[in-house]
Amino acid sequence: MLLYRQCLLVSFLILAQINTVSAVTEPFTPVTPDVQPYYQPNDNVEAGLWLQLDKAEQALKHSPKRINDEKLNAYVNKIICRLAEDYCQDIRLYIVRAPFFNAQMAPNGMMIIWSGLLLRVDNEDQLAAVIGHELGHYLKRHTLNNLIDRKNKRNLSAFLTIGLAALGVAPAASITDFILMASIFAHTREQESEADKYGIQLMRKAEYDIREAANVWDAMIEEDKAVKANDSKEVGVPFFATHPPSEDRSKTLSLYAEQLRIIENPPTPPTHKQFVETVATFWSTFLEDQVLLNQPKRTEYLLQTLVSKEKLPGTIHYYNGELLRQRNEEGDIKLAEKEYITAIQYSDAPNFAYRELGLVLLKQKRFQEAHSYFNNYLEYAPDANDREMIEYYLSMEPN
Amino acid sequence: MFAFRMKGIHLAKFTHFATILFALTLLSGCATTGNKSTRSSLDSLHTTSNVLLMPVDVELSVLTAGGELEPRADWTESAKDYMNNAFIEHQRTRNSRLISYHSPDDADPLSGQLAEIERLHGVVGQSILLHEFIQGYKLPSKEEFNWTLGPKVQALKETNENADYALFVFVRDSYSSSGRVAMQIAAAILGVSLQGGLQVGFASLVDLNSGEIVWFNRMFSGTGDLRTQESATQTVAYLLKGLPE
Amino acid sequence: MKKLVVFICIFLISACTPYTLVKSEKTDLNGLSVVPSGSWSALSSMLSVENIPTWTADGSLLNSIMFFGPISNEQKLIKGSDQTNYPEFRKDMLPSEVVEIVESTVTQLYGATILENGTLKPFKINNEPGFQFGFKFAGQDEVPRGLLATGIIKNDMLYIVLYQAANLHFYDKDLANVQRMMASISII
Q: What is the pLDDT of residues B66-91, one digit of tens each?
A: 666 778 888 888 999 999 999 888 88
Residues of A in contact with C59 (CB under 8 A): 168
Residues of B in contact with C166 (CB under 8 A): 120, 123
CA distance A306 to A251: 24
Residues of C in contact with B148 (CB under 8 A): 169
Instruction: Find the CB nearest A170 among C2, C96, C139.
Output: C2
**pLDDT digit string, tens, across residues A338-379:** 999 999 999 999 999 999 999 999 999 999 999 999 999 999
Nearest residue in chain A measured CA to CA from C109: A171
pLDDT of residue A343: 96
**Of A295, A294, A291, A320, residue with least CA distance to A305:** A320
pLDDT of residue A177: 43
Q: Determine the Cα angle at B189 with ends B183 and B190, to 5°.
A: 90
Instruction: Find the CB nearest C19 among B7, B124, B140.
Output: B140
- In Å, how far is B112's CA from the nearest CA of chain A? 6
pLDDT of residue A189: 79
Give the global pTM.
0.83
pLDDT of residue B223: 65
Q: Does B108 touch chain A (CB under 8 A)?
A: no
pLDDT of residue B38: 58
* Contact between B74 and A47 using a beta-carbon 8 Å cutoff: yes
Is the per-residue pLDDT at A61 higher than 70? yes
Q: Does A173 touch chain B (CB under 8 A)?
A: no
pLDDT of residue A159: 41
DSSP state string for B193-207: ------EEEEEEEEE
Q: Does A177 touch chain C (CB under 8 A)?
A: yes
Q: Does C188 touch chain A (CB under 8 A)?
A: no
* Contact between B120 and C7 using a beta-carbon 8 Å cutoff: no
pLDDT of residue A239: 66
- Rg of chain B's alpha carbons, rounded to an integer? 19
Length of chain B: 245
pLDDT of residue A390: 97
pLDDT of residue A163: 24
Residues of A in contact with C49 (CB under 8 A): 168-171
Instruction: Please compute the mean of the pLDDT values over residues B38-48 and round it to a whole number.
Output: 47
Residues of A in contact with B115 (CB under 8 A): 58-59, 61-62
Q: Does B27 touch chain C (CB under 8 A)?
A: yes
* Contact between A171 and C100 using a beta-carbon 8 Å cutoff: no
CA distance C6 to C18: 9
Instruction: Find the CB nearest B141 among C7, C39, C173.
Output: C39
* Contact between A386 and C119 using a beta-carbon 8 Å cutoff: yes
> Which residues are CB-neighbours of B178 under 8 A, at least 6 positions away?
none
Residue C85 · residue C79 · CB < 8 Å: no
**pLDDT digit string, tens, across residues B104-148:** 888 888 888 888 998 899 889 888 988 888 778 899 999 889 999
- Rg of chain A's alpha carbons, rounded to an integer? 24
Residues of C in contact with B147 (CB under 8 A): 58
Helix axes A387-395, A367-380, angle to 10 degrees: 160
Q: For an interface test with A, which of B119, B121, B129, B172 has the most A Cβ atoms less than 10 Å from its Cβ?
A: B119
The answer to which of A115-129, A227-241, A309-323, C44-58 has the lowest mean pLDDT is: A227-241
**Of C86, C151, C97, residue with least CA distance to A363:** C97
Per-residue buried b or exposed e for C42-77, using 16+ beta carbons within 10 Å of the residue's own CB: bbeeebbbeebbbbbbbbbbbbbbbbbbbbeeeebb
Q: Does B6 touch chain A (CB under 8 A)?
A: no
pLDDT of residue A240: 65
CA distance A110 to A94: 7
Interface predicted TM-score of the whole assembly (ipTM), two decimals:
0.90
Q: pLDDT confidence of C40, banded at 50, 70, 90?
A: very high
Instruction: Please compute the mean of the pLDDT values over residues A227-238 and round it to a whole number.
Output: 66
Residues of C in contact with A397 (CB under 8 A): none
- In Å, how far is C108's CA from the nearest CA of chain A? 6
* Contact between B140 and C20 using a beta-carbon 8 Å cutoff: yes
Q: What are phi and psi of A51, to 5 degrees?
A: -55, -45
**Of A153, A110, B122, B18, residue with least CA distance to C142:** B122
Torsional class of A180: left (φ above 0), alpha (ψ -120 to 50), beta (otherwise): alpha
CA distance C134 to C62: 17
Q: What are phi and psi of A210, to 5 degrees?
A: -70, -15
**Of A288, A372, A233, residue with least CA distance to C112:** A288
Residue C154 · residue C137 · CB < 8 Å: no
Per-residue buried b or exposed e for B61-100, using 16+ beta carbons within 10 Å of the residue's own CB: bbbbeebbbbbbbebbebbbebbbebbeebbeebebebbe
Exposure of C95 by Cβ count < 10 A (0-12 exposed, 13-18 middle, 19+ buried)? buried
**Of A190, A142, A258, A201, residue with least CA distance to A6:** A201
Average per-residue pLDDT for chain C: 91
Q: Does C122 touch chain A (CB under 8 A)?
A: yes
CA distance B175 to B196: 7
CA distance A88 to B233: 42
| CA torsion angle A30 A34 A38 A40 (round to 10) | -170
Is the per-residue pLDDT at B17 higher than 70? no
- In Å, how far is C97's CA from the nearest CA of chain B? 32
**B–C: how many Cβ contacts below 8 A?**
85
Beta bridge partners of B6: B9
- In Å, how far is A193's CA from the nearest CA of chain B? 30
- In Å, how far is B7's CA from the nearest CA of chain A? 23
Higher pLDDT, B94 or C38: C38
Q: Does A149 touch chain C (CB under 8 A)?
A: no
- In Å, how far is A284's CA from the nearest CA of chain C? 13
Instruction: Find the CB nearest C111 among A167, A173, A235.
Output: A173
* Contact between A164 and B59 using a beta-carbon 8 Å cutoff: no
Maximum average pLDDT range among A4-13, B119-128, B199-208, C169-178: C169-178
**pLDDT digit string, tens, across residues A163-213:** 222 222 222 333 344 444 555 567 777 888 899 999 999 999 998 888 888
- In Å, how far is A341's CA from the nearest CA of chain B? 42
* Contact between C10 and B136 using a beta-carbon 8 Å cutoff: yes
**pLDDT digit string, tens, across residues B179-193:** 556 656 655 565 544
Q: Does A94 touch chain B (CB under 8 A)?
A: no
Q: Which of residues 141-180 of C touch A (CB under 8 A)?
A: 141-144
